[in-house]
Structure 1
């Protein structure tokens, strides 16, 4: 088994690709609260080009969000190295790293250090996002791993949760003493036995020194979980929170129809992607921005409407005085009306203003 074995089901890749693509379409807007109003402020450079492919080749925020989202959905974690900080000590350059090169040292359910490419790295200089967390474990889980640990409808599923990292020809994980070697083979065997007894029973493993645990076959186990449980494409889309019809999966009720595109996209962004988007907003806000500011991924950028629905929305907003006509035109990437255009409207539809003397009082006709 390889790290990509779980993606042999095309629907798994399609779901991950859809979620990553949607994140990449959302610009990152920054606000600060003034009274009860959110006021837009300039977006820092790190939220426009957070990384560099090479000198003169910036990695845009869309690429960065898409790449890290793929790792979040595939592994439950996304890692990066903070190469530069600004005057406030906040990240100014974040280079994403392959998750296969990262291991963590955990003490009392807290990550005390990271190793990236074999080099010990201070947690302050590691960008770490996680999703689908469980109590007492400081790392995230992929949707499939989370499902494997959460589904307890039968004894078989429960047994799988305890034997999740079981494998045949290769060890399932590497348990290594971080501070010193263990020269005595008898002592090493005793520690291994103690570790296996604790984890098999679902209990915490207690040791006197710091230990580094690096799973070797997690992705292979996920692939085995898919194969063993014989989950259909429709069930796999539920794990990733993606409607089946959006990745060409037939549903039991046949094709799904919607009144318009807006309702369809609204369901996807709110019900399916809402949690993932909010987690990313929180990570960016708390780690990159000063405390008085916060980030929001612009969902409206992907909330496409059919032309008739969009025109009706603008009409309602203008008539209810929520926006001005010039604002609606700006949202449509159109320049404001000129005086010549206003005069043409007046010739076609009458004057823009009514005569106050001919306007009846309110309540009279």
Structure 2
């Protein structure tokens, strides 16, 4: 059995990530090759595609309206009296606004696949949530099935139980989420290497390196003098006219950007990195080869909202009910981001939808007005419905006159 486990570790095994007791990891346990450049949070965020993808996810989630609802026999209403309502909708901690708090959680979730926040309590009431950098937290699965989170702050290490640390995770082994940045290491490394090459090339005046050949043997002093005199052929930013004499010839040896298709490679990296984060390249301002106007973009945006952002929001909403509420509260309350605000149509489309909803008795006029940010009006709280609909066999006939009871029909 030990030999089988060793071979399994060498060659890998099919299926999802393993869940074994001990320290959990959100990064790949093995890599096929070394990256083209060192990849960490700071170097990755200097790549525009990474920064743009993470910013879109975190800022969009942070901008969404959020509310906590209490569900009762008459429907649901905002749970204004619940202590967690104030924390999640107005003041999560002493340092952040609601928007900043959700941005911090979404940033860590998008980068490392895990977001952590210390649960601050006064007795049994939750009075604050303090986000932590996921790079400073290590999650361990204990032998008894419990989970411990070790937070490193300088030289100090604090260990929190699962009831003292709020942990949101992307898909993984069930205990910890997989890190998109870690699994995109090779793609991000190529983008970093390409950026470094472009930076070095332009800092050198976009001059390629080369070889200077002379048709006679030089002494060490002459060789040093020639190297010093003609070094600016491949170094420096000055554009000068050099005169080569005595049979001297200059031959380029480095490849130009067009030779290595540097522009095409950088364009592809935008698409490749966007795939890891689930962000369409058009949202990263990559419009080459695709339409940037019309319904095509609207369909792309709609798919992004539904297939990328919706799973993020669902994970957060369910995590609130699971870890920040008791079992009894989780059955009576709902946590919800206002996802409809992302799919909000244009003015004409909203007016048409409101008219249909009012005419079919699904909305009152005041509910439609409130959804448009307008005040309610007297008499607008009644459901209305069109009354001109008749059976098709009665079409074209005059409506009959109602005869009072006890009188002769005219």
Same fold (TM over 0.5): yes
Cα distance in 1 between the residues matched to 2:322 and 2:385: 50
SS at match of 1:280: helix
Work out the CA distance in 2 between the residues paired with 1:316 and 1:22. 30
Cα offsets for 1:129-176 (capped at 9, x unmatched): 2213136xx32222233456xxxxxxxxxxxxxxxxxxxxxxxxxxxx
Closer/same/farther in 2, CA of residues 282 and 264 from structure 1, 3 Å limit: same
Task: Determine the structure 1 residue equivalent to 2:169.
Answer: 130
The answer on whether the counterparts of 2:50 and 2:273 sit within 8 Å (CA) in structure 1 is yes
The answer to whether residue 189 in structure 2 is matched with residue 224 in structure 1 is: yes
TM-score by length of structure 2 reads 0.57
Shift in alpha-carbon separation, 1:11–1:259, aligned structure 2, 3 A = closer
Q: What pairs with 1:1-40 in structure 2 (closer than 5 Å)? A: 1=38, 2-34=40-72, 37-40=75-78
Residue 265 and residue 315 in structure 1: after superposition, are their counterparts in 2 closer, same or farther (change >3 A)?
farther
Q: 1:225 to 1:232 in 2, by over 3 A?
A: closer
1:271 to 292, 303, 307: 307
Aligned-partner Cα distance in 2 for 1:353–1:112: 58
Aligned to 2:272: 235
Specify which of 316, 340, 356 is matched with residue 356 of structure 2: 316
User: Is residue 61–residue 103 contact of structure 2 (8 Å, CA) maintained in 1?
Assistant: yes
CA offset at residue 113 of structure 1? 4.0
Cα offsets for 1:238-290 (capped at 9, x unmatched)? 211112112201354443631795x5653332122111111011112222232
Name the SS of the counterpart of 2:305 in structure 1.
Answer: helix
Q: Which residue of 2 aligns with 1:76?
A: 113
Aligned-partner SS, 2:367:
helix
Provide closer, same or farther for how the CA distance between residues 52 and 111 of structure 1 changes in structure 2, counting only shifts above 3 A.
same
CA pair 323-67 structure 1, distance change in 2 beyond 3 A = same
Moved more, 295-304 or 26-35: 26-35
Q: What is aligned with 1:325?
A: 365
Please state whether the residue corresponding to 1:295 is helix, strand or coil. strand
Moved more, 40-49 or 278-287: 40-49
Number of aligned residue pairs: give it: 269
Q: State which structure, 1 or 2, has the greater radius of gyration over its C-alpha atoms.
A: 2
Over 3 Å counting, the alpha-carbon distance change for 1:253 and 1:41 in structure 2 is same
Which of residues 60, 63, 66 in structure 1 aligns to 2:97?
A: 60
How much has 1:327 moved relative to structure 2?
A: 1.0
- Tell me how far apart the structure 1 counterparts of residues 128 and 385 of structure 2 sit (CA, whole Å): 54
* Aligned mates of 1:97, 1:40 — CA distance in 2: 29
User: Do residues 141 (structure 1) and 183 (structure 2) align?
Assistant: no
Tell me if the contact between 1:144 and 1:222 (Cα under 8 Å) persists in the aligned partners. Answer: no
In the alignment, structure 2 segments of 5+ residues that lack a partner are 1-37, 195-264, 399-410
- Contact 1:25 1:302 (C-alpha < 8 Å) held by counterparts: no
Aligned in 2, Cα 1:243/1:251: closer, same or farther, shift over 3 Å? farther
How far apart, in 2, do the equivalents of 1:113 and 1:360 lie?
A: 64
Name the CA distance, whole Å, in 2 between partners of 1:28 and 1:98.
23
Gap change, CA 1:111 and 1:8, over 3 Å in 2: same
Q: CA RMSD in A?
A: 3.5
User: What is the Cα deviation at residue 29 of structure 1?
Assistant: 1.9
Question: Normalised by the size of structure 1, how large is the TM-score?
Answer: 0.63
Contact 2:116 2:134 in 1 (8 A): yes
CA distance in 2, matches of 1:309, 1:360: 25
1:50 aligns with 2:92: yes
Q: Is the 8 A contact 2:53 2:279 kept in 1?
A: yes
SS of residue paired to 1:335: coil
On the 8 A contact 1:234/1:250 being kept in 2, the answer is no
Which deviations, in whole Å up to 9, do the C-alpha atoms of 1:299-339 show, x marking residues without a partner?
A: 12333321111111111111111101111111112123469
Change (3 A) 1:35 1:74: same
